[in-house]
């Protein structure tokens, strides 16, 4: 038993990431990925439980003391890969276009390096399904991933193409947004396009609702708190000369919490219904909370930032890296304190493709950095 982890296996990390990249699986379908993970972790003598949150895998190395959780998501996206690389996706219409293939490889490398160590506490790994659909974390939590041993702190990373490789973004407080989804049905009365006075035109009402929803951000929100309202779908009508009887809208609200987060469901409903009534129409509003804002704990963010400064040099640790994108690691961090860091993965010279795009790819040096960061964070936390 030793206190120093074995050297990082750069070639192994890249090989694992490329293997998973070639075999992408969508949320709750990650059976091959989960099988590979479970087999590796059993080989490392972890106590492995598959099927946690449907396709999730949990691995534990138990010891008296505190318990630290390392979380890695493992799902791909319904995107057709456009990269001509040797490790291109072999599955038509599916691709690791967000870097979760790298998260799995990093998680396994951290597990390999922590396995032989004598630590002052337990290490638990959560390989999580279905992050993109925002319900994998909840599935694992309801299956008890945070219990026995009870998790005291949770850490995770996201490879991040908005940051150059060699840098990381770590800060306390909210760093990823709440994700809400709304659906609005506007019910009018259809008729002839040439006789609008005999109808209640839901298309016109929908147009006013879309415009008014934008005023929520400009006029109903404290300008010092961040928020986005986007209407992203609009469906109505089937003919140029017929006023339809119904129009459907869908969209999303993003916040970092606070009063606008609390008020948004009511504001969206009141706005849509008020406008519809003013036009003689009726609006039905469904509002769903998909994920909470992701909030990093002050103390543990400082711990991870110190670790990152040791691994990369203080100049490479960026403050202020946040996004209005969502991340269901938020559900873990709602229950236990922890920190979620952004690990720069944009190739040095060229402009990086954005996440979720068919040309997304990472600079694989980021795998080494992510693995070093999480390994050292887990050791530092447990031995503190």
Q: Which of residues 90-109 bind Ni ion (CB under 5 A)?
A: 98
Nearer to Ni ion, 98 or 186 (CB): 98
Mask 264-303, x = binds Ni ion (CB under 5 A)?
A: ----------------------------------------
Cβ 9 to Ni ion shortest distance, Å? 24
Over the window 7 to 46, marking each residue x when it contacts Ni ion by CB under 5 A and - when it does not, the resulting string is ----------------------------------------
In the complex with Ni ion, the residue whose CB is nearer, 80 or 222, is: 80
Question: Closest approach of Cβ 77 to Ni ion, in Å?
Answer: 9
Cβ proximity to Ni ion, 18 vs 158, nearer residue: 158
Least distance in angstroms from the C-beta of 307 to Ni ion: 22
Instruction: Give min distance, CB of 294 to Ni ion, in A.
Output: 12
The least CB distance from residue 97 to Ni ion, in Å, is 9
Q: Which residue is nearest to Ni ion (CB)?
A: 98
- Which residue lies nearer to Ni ion by CB, 102 or 188? 102
* Nearest to Ni ion of 323, 380 (CB atom): 323
**Minimum CB–partner distance for residue 327 and Ni ion (Å):** 7
Write phi, then psi, for 301 (nearest 5 degrees): -70, -40
Q: Which is nearer to Ni ion, 201 or 364 (CB)?
A: 364
Q: Is 79 in the site for Ni ion (CB under 5 A)?
A: no
> Given the rule CB under 5 A, which residues bind Ni ion?
98
């Amino acid at each position: 038993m030793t206190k120093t982890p074995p050297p990082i296996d750069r070639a192994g990390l890249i090989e694992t990431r490329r293997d998973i990249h070639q075999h992408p699986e969508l949320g709750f379908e990650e059976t091959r990925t989960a099988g590979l993970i479970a087999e590796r972790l059993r080989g490392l003598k972890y106590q492995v439980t598959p099927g946690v949150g449907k396709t999730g895998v949990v691995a534990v190395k138990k010891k008296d003391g505190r318990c630290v959780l390392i979380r890695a998501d493992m799902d791909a996206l319904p995107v057709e890969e456009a990269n001509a690389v040797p490790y291109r996706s072999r599955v038509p219409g599916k691709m690791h276009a967000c870097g979760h293939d790298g998260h799995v490889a990093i998680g396994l490398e951290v597990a390999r390096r922590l396995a032989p160590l004598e630590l002052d506490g337990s290490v638990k790994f959560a390989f999580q399904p279905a992050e993109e659909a925002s319900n994998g974390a909840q599935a694992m939590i309801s299956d008890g991933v945070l219990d026995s041993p009870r998790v005291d702190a949770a850490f995770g990373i996201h490879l991040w193409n908005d940051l150059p490789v060699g840098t990381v973004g770590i800060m306390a407080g909210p760093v990823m947004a709440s994700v809400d989804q709304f659906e609005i049905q506007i019910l009018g009365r259809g008729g002839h396009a040439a006789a609008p006075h005999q109808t209640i035109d839901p298309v016109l009402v929908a147009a006013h609702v879309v415009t008014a929803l934008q005023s929520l951000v400009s006029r109903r929100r404290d300008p010092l708190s961040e928020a986005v309202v986007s209407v992203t779908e609009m469906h109505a009508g089937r003919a140029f000369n017929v006023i339809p009887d119904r129009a459907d809208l869908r969209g999303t609200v993003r916040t970092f919490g606070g009063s606008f987060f609390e008020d948004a469901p009511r504001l969206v409903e009141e706005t849509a219904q008020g406008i519809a009534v003013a036009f003689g129409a009726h609006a039905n509003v469904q509002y769903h909370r998909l994920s909470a804002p992701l909030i990093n704990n002050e103390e543990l963010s400082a711990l991870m930032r110190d670790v990152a400064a040791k691994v990369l040099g203080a100049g490479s640790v960026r403050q202020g890296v946040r996004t209005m994108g969502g991340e269901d690691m938020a559900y873990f961090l709602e229950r236990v304190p922890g920190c979620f860091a952004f690990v720069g993965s944009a190739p040095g010279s060229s402009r990086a493709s954005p996440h979720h795009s068919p040309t997304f790819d990472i600079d694989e040096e980021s795998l080494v950095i992510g693995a070093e960061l999480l390994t050292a964070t887990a050791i530092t936390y447990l031995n503190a």
